Amino acid sequence: MARPEHNLRVKAVERIASATENTEWHGRLYLVGGAVRDPLLGLDRPNECDIVVEGDAIELVNYLYAAGISDVHPVVYPRFGTAMLHLEGSNVEFVSARKESYSEHSRKPNVEAASLLEDAKRRDFTVNALMRNIHSGELLDLLGTGLEDLKNRVLRTPLEPVETFRDDPLRMLRAVRLKNRLKFDFAPGLANAISQEASRLKIISAERIRDEIIKMLLDRSAAQSLKDLMSLGLLHEIAPEFVAAIGVDQGTYHDKDVWEHTLDVVEMAAQGEYENDEERLIVLLAASLHDIGKPCTKSIEATGRVRFFGHDKQGAVIAERILTRMRFPKRTVHAVSKLVGNHMRLGSAPEFSKAAARRLLRDMGELTEPFLRLCEADAAAIGRIPKPIPFDEIRSRLAEVQKSTESAPLDSPLTGKEIMAELGLKPGPEVGEWKQFLQEAVIEGVIEQGDKGGARKLLLRARNLSETD
């Protein structure tokens, strides 16, 4: 069954076709790209909806807006002959049929009006150059190879691949993403061309690269995409910190090196079901980065045992650096760094007590479920785990504690002012230390939440003991 947003995109195209009946644009508008490709593969149309115009796309969009089919003013880009119109909950991009030329140091093309065939030649892949007339429904394969490549599930560039990727290096990332999402193969020579031109990614903005990486990680083929990025030399340009993970032996409990284990964790995480794309992205980013601190913390004991002391904390620092460099939002950077920095805590506890549950809820908050998802993926990917982590038991204990703490936070029953009044203190660090002491007492179950009387007694007793010591 088609998703609601798919139906809205179909409706948007139908409204455009209806609005241009018996106008100069009748029969001159063509869907192109994924909106043609994916339905032919039996898939829903993608979020993007692109229309090629034989004529002036900006003039067309202004006409459509004036005709009232959208109440959102269009966004136009006169230099490139493109315009965006928001319609039926979707953004529809219109582009004048054009040909392009590029300078060596920019992916922004110089454009000029051209035929539909020339427009098809300037596109990234033959399967994305298929066009469908929105009025007649006619399907055009102007390159003569698009339908055959679609049938054979082959990703091929309209021009020589080196030329295609040199013009717009972002296409190399799209090649990896589409190959794996659509389960295609690269045409002969395409992989070599990507490896040859990988360094050209330097001219692409961090934001553009980030957006492609996000799309890869949100797909169930995320692990294979990361593997391809590494083997083709693209990850060396995007995040060279990953390269150091190749060949790093992990010793007794792992049968794979750090990089191969990372791919396994990503594979496990990618197959899960999540509340939304934000949660999926956070977990997949954390899965990709959870052991990024291992290469720089590796040590070998006299017995030959391999250790990675502090790799979780060091990994959190490296993860934050990589994601900040790639211009991820601060909220995402903070969440992923926190997951990476805490991913070892379940494996080090002899049992998951109520106190441990309270601490986890306190420390992870809304990231508790993503944290568990990461730990589950990590545990499932370990080759020779000595003692399985009881995730069902952990979830039950967390639910039990959450239910008992819904009415009050896991915090000190006494405020800072109340602590100062009780102990005769002035504002300062000591007040915070006593407040932390009372919070720990709540977590350990020594006193109940909100028990001010019990907190005062414990506070005075602890202060007296500290003074006698």
Nearest Cα neighbor of 39 from 122, 121, 139 is 139
Q: Quote the pLDDT of residue 5.
A: 52
Q: What's the pLDDT tens digit per position in 54-88?
A: 989 999 999 999 999 988 899 998 878 889 998 87
Query: What kind of fold does domain 159-238 have according to CATH?
Result: Hydrophobic Seed Protein (1.10.110)
In this prediction, residue 153 carries a pLDDT of 98
Domain ranges of the chain: 1-152, 159-238, 244-405, 416-468
Question: Whole-model pTM?
Answer: 0.84
Instruction: Give the closest residue to 431 by CA, choosing from 418, 420, 443.
Output: 420
Q: What CATH number labels 1-152?
A: 3.30.460.10
Among the ranges 41-55, 102-116, 179-193, 254-268, which has the highest mean pLDDT value? 179-193
**What pLDDT sits at residue 1?**
41
Domains 1-152 and 159-238 are alike in CATH topology: no
- CATH number belonging to domain 244-405: 1.10.3210
In terms of pLDDT, which residue wins out, 71 or 157? 157
- Structure-token pair, residue 310: 């502090």
Q: How long, in residues, is the chain?
A: 469
Structure-token match 């049929």, residue found: 97
Q: Which residues of 78-105 are buried (b: 16+ CB within 10 A; e: fewer)?
A: eebbbbebbbbebebbbbbbbbbebeee
Residues 6+ apart with CB under 8 A from 13: 31, 35, 49, 51, 92, 134
User: Is the pLDDT reported for residue 467 higher than 90?
Assistant: no
Q: Does residue 445 have a pLDDT over 80?
A: no
CA 11 from chain centre, in angstroms, equals 29
Longest Cα–Cα distance of the chain, Å, equals: 95
